[in-house]
């Protein structure tokens, strides 16, 4: 049985928080075009004169140029302290910098300054999703949709919530509607790509992830997904190009701990053992409790004829639970049988060969997803 491909998805784990953070950065910057009610600025408009600088900050955020975005936003925070768009931009920037203690009150203030702006509530919903708070996200996204049923950001949040609740068709419908309303919404394309990948519709997934990396060239997670999709389609050359690009940009807010594992596994399958080794070694340090990492590295060590090291990794793989069934017990048994045979330990080799022969394949593994 072939090994399953792995990648983080929207299940609340820490590496997924980074991409949600960036999603908060790349939507529309000025709430309602900057027309919010407040008590300062010429004509009572707290956002008067802010739009040119805000647009430049928005473009910097889109490109992942955090220092430039902060340079533009900090003066605005002093001169337009009650402009909800400025406050929201700062909230997004603080989220991307990994500072929820500062970001959360800024999001709350933005929604207070613009209580009837659907976009503010929608982006607050996405923030709550990044903090593993689905109930709060549900409230904010529902409020956003009640204010504007055509809010793309609210539809993205709703699609994510529906997907997490095991309702992929409804999630897809919400996300597709978001894309129709805003074809350049990178996060909507990303989430549609994830759904397509899970459904093994790799051609559709690749199309969405290509759109994401065109819009957000700093998105290592999207590059990784794109590479896996292209590999599944048999396009190894383009897959490797995507992985190499992912390695160049693999940092916050899109840091992908599975990147070295996925690329190292690919290189191993290509027979490029020496190139594979540093990636799988790094993956083992980043993900010591993941069965697939030790399983792949054991196969690498076996191919390199480093049999004691192969045994250590294979035994480690067997000791790591894998509730998702991505690497089955019988696969590890077969690998251990081979390793023990090479080490001359015949009894153990026979034991694990018999276990591999007699261990049934779990029903859920017959139609398992390619990643957890």
Q: Are residues 140 and 228 in the same domain?
A: yes
User: Which of the listed residues 248, 279, 304 is the one where a domain comes to its end?
Assistant: 248
The pLDDT assigned to 31 comes to 37
The pLDDT assigned to 187 comes to 93
The pLDDT assigned to 34 comes to 35
38 within domain boundaries:
yes
Q: 267: exposed, middle or buried (C-beta count within 10 Å: 0-12, 13-18, 19+)?
A: buried
Question: Which parts of the chain register pLDDT below 50?
Answer: 1-4, 8-42, 366-372
What is the phi/psi pair of residue 258, to 5°?
Answer: -85, 0
Q: Are residues 216 and 147 in the same domain?
A: yes
The pLDDT assigned to 361 comes to 85
The pLDDT assigned to 3 comes to 42
4 within domain boundaries:
no
For the chain, the 3-state helix, strand and coil shares in percent, each to the nearest 5, are 70, 0, 30
Q: Are residues 233 and 266 in the same domain?
A: no
345 within domain boundaries:
yes
The pLDDT assigned to 27 comes to 42
Q: Are residues 38 and 187 in the same domain?
A: yes
- Provide the domain count of the chain: 2
User: What does the block give as tokens for 251?
Assistant: 């940092």
How distant is the alpha carbon of residue 355 from its chain centre? 36
132 within domain boundaries:
yes
User: Which of the listed residues 248, 283, 314 is the one where a domain comes to its end?
Assistant: 248
Q: Are residues 158 and 23 in the same domain?
A: yes
Q: Are residues 86 and 135 in the same domain?
A: yes
Query: What span, in angstroms and rounded, lies between the C-alpha atoms of 224 and 211?
Result: 13
Residue 335 is part of a domain; what is its CATH number? Answer: 1.25.40.10
Taking phi over 0 as left and psi of -120 to 50 as alpha, with beta for the rest, 185 belongs to beta
353 within domain boundaries:
yes
236 within domain boundaries:
yes
Q: Are residues 23 and 143 in the same domain?
A: yes
Among the listed residues 349, 334, 243, 354, the one whose alpha carbon sits nearest the alpha carbon of residue 3: 334
Angle at 97 between CA 96 and CA 103, to 5 degrees: 75
7 within domain boundaries:
no
Q: Which domain holds residue 357?
A: 259-367
Asked if 113 contacts 93 with a C-beta cutoff of 8 angstroms, the reply is no
Q: Are residues 221 and 275 in the same domain?
A: no
Q: Are residues 241 and 263 in the same domain?
A: no
Angle between helices 168-181 and 152-164 (to 10 degrees): 170
The pLDDT assigned to 363 comes to 65
The pLDDT assigned to 61 comes to 72
Query: What span, in angstroms and rounded, lies between the C-alpha atoms of 50 and 53?
Result: 6
The pLDDT assigned to 1 comes to 42
Q: Model confidence over 169-197: pLDDT tens digits?
A: 999 999 999 999 999 999 999 999 999 99
Q: Are residues 142 and 68 in the same domain?
A: yes
267 within domain boundaries:
yes
Q: Are residues 174 and 301 in the same domain?
A: no
User: Which of the listed residues 181, 213, 248 is the one where a domain comes to its end?
Assistant: 248
Query: What span, in angstroms and rounded, lies between the C-alpha atoms of 65 and 46?
Result: 26
The pLDDT assigned to 101 comes to 94
Q: Are residues 214 and 288 in the same domain?
A: no
């Amino acid at each position: 049985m072939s090994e399953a491909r792995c990648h983080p998805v929207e299940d609340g784990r820490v590496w997924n928080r980074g991409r949600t953070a960036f999603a908060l950065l790349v939507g529309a910057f000025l709430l309602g075009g900057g027309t919010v009610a407040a008590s300062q600025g010429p004509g009572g408009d707290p956002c008067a004169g802010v739009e040119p600088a805000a647009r430049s900050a928005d473009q910097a955020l889109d490109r992942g140029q955090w220092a430039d975005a902060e340079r533009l936003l900090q003066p605005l925070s002093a001169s337009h302290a009650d402009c909800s768009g400025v406050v929201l931009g700062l909230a997004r920037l603080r989220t991307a910098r990994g500072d929820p203690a500062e970001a959360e009150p800024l999001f709350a203030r933005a929604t207070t300054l613009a209580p009837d702006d659907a976009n503010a509530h929608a982006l607050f919903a996405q923030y709550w999703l990044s903090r593993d708070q689905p109930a709060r996200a549900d409230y904010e996204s529902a409020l956003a949709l009640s204010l504007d049923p055509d809010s793309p950001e609210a539809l993205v949040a709703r699609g994510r919530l529906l997907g997490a609740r095991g309702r992929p068709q409804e999630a897809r419908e919400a996300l597709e509607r978001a894309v129709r309303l805003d074809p350049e919404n990178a996060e909507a394309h990303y989430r549609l790509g994830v759904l397509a990948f899970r459904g093994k519709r790799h051609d559709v997934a690749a199309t969405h992830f290509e759109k994401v990396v065109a819009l957000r060239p700093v998105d290592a997670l999207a590059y990784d997904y794109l590479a896996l999709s292209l590999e599944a389609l048999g396009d190894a050359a383009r897959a490797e190009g995507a992985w190499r690009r992912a390695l160049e940009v693999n940092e916050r807010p899109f840091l992908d701990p599975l990147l070295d594992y996925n690329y190292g596994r690919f290189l191993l399958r290509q027979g490029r053992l020496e190139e594979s080794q540093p990636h799988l070694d790094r993956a083992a340090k980043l993900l010591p409790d993941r069965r697939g990492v030790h399983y792949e590295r054991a196969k690498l060590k076996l191919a390199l004829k480093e049999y004691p090291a192969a045994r250590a990794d294979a035994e480690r793989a067997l000791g790591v639970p894998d509730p998702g069934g991505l690497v089955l017990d019988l696969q590890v048994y077969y690998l251990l049988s081979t390793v023990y045979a090479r080490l001359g330990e015949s009894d153990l080799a026979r034991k694990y060969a018999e276990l591999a022969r007699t261990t049934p394949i779990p029903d859920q593994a017959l139609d398992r997803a390619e990643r957890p």
